[in-house]
Structure 1
Amino acid sequence: MKTLAYQAAQFNANQQSREINLLNKERELYIAQQMVKEREYTNMLMFVTILVGGLFFLGILLAVGQMQKRKFMRMARMDALTGILNRGAGQELGEDLFVQATARGGDFCVILFDLDLFKRINDSYGHGTGDWVLKKVADFLKSHIRNGDVFARIGGEEFAILLPYANEEKGMEVAEQCRARIEAIETQHSGHKFVITASFGVSGLMADDLSLDPLFHRADMALYAAKSCGRNTVVRYSEVLKCDQQATDLRRYAASTSIS
């Protein structure tokens, strides 16, 4: 009985030892599995972090690229000196507004103006003063231009104001206001004392106008007439100007023919 009891006790001890070893192995396996899961979680977290960081960095690059693109497009449309639209952008926008206005049966008016004796300012006071004059004129008139109108520099000292849904009378009013504002510019801040004036030509929409070109042409003839009338004035286009232009062209042609 003692022998059997001893053998039974030894068997139980061995059984318990095997169970303890099995539990230890299961514990080690569980710990290893947990370590693998933690490593997988860490790797996944690192991957997600890298992915989010890469996407964020890519987003920043795209945003900067878009900003640079818009900046370059804006620079391509703007006159670098005065900060208003250049000739190409002004005419393109003007054509779009012209089509919209005429499609709705609205009026359209073109104002061209040229600074008087601008070359004399450059020759007398230097090109720096001439640039100051151009910027000052643009700054003085920008706040006077309505939202929806187009203000552009189309040449050295020549500017255009395009007025959608405005008739010729409104154009004459705007041109006269601009002429007065230019004449009132105080030039002493440029380091010199002189007077700035400008001549204006105004042309409104006619029934057979299909684009802006005829309006620009008529406004240019009116501007030429304003220069011929002594400058610092506003002239509205009329058929008389067309006749005068034709007479001038004939005189020039006759003169060139006689010389040849």
Structure 2
Amino acid sequence: MSHERFNKGMDELKKKYNESPSNTSSNEIFQAVKEEKQKKKRFRSWPAVAASIAALFIGAVLTGSLFTTEEISQDPGNDSGSRTGDLLEDEQNENTDTPDQTSDDEKEPTANEEGTEDASNKTDEHASDVQHREKTVVRSVYPEGQEDQYTFNLHVSENLRFSTYIEEKMIYVEELTEDGAVETFYPDFAGSGEIFSEETYIQVSQISDHSLDKWEDELLEQSQAEGYEQHELYSPEFEYADRQGLLIKGDLQKYYALIEHEEGIYSIKTQMTVEFADGALPFMMKIFVDELVF
């Protein structure tokens, strides 16, 4: 192999010698041969360099393609084909199953919450009104035309949310019915602590789902069924009543007063026998009704 390369080199030298001018020196001849070899060497090295560059380029392209493929496969939003139906179903399930994330502060109050808050506010207002009322007052009454003074204590109703003044010896009885609370006050002039007559009383109740006309009609109908007759009032018995009237049954006299308020309609009934009609009791009943504060 070395012998062939030697012969090939000698042939090239001879060729350069024949092509060179006759006045060329031997140094120039050898320099020309050297440059020719370097050119061939550079020419032979270019394919290897080009192949290396191409290999690096192809490797970079393949690597980038691999990373891109992995990112696409990991992104659920770019799935195609049969995955589309799965994604739509998953989104529907999320919309259906996701609980309401609204904070407690942003939620609107429910009807029960609003009703509780309103009732609390009204109770606070009533308590504020009661605080400004005197616990005990003295009033002048005129039984049989003679002036007399009686002491009245402040009464505060928690269930019916009203306050008024009652004669200090009156006996208070509260009854809870299906229609609400009913409060009854009986006179006790002797101070015995016992009810003298159940037919003599002041009674307060409340109803919220009736109009004044309807409740008055029902009251009159019930009273007539019990044997009472309606009589004309020549002058109002109570100062602030929206409706009032007089019913008589034998020796019993019943006055009624209806007062409309935002809480509902209050019904106040006062009943006494004829023997009390000229005494202090009618004045006590009138003070009770006129001093009502809701």
TM-score (norm 1): 0.31
Tell me which protein shows more strand as a share of its residues. Answer: 2
Tell me which protein shows more helix as a share of its residues. Answer: 1
Specify the structure having the higher radius of gyration (Cα).
2
The higher relative CO (CA closer than 8 Å, separation ≥ 6) is in 1
TM-score (norm 2): 0.29
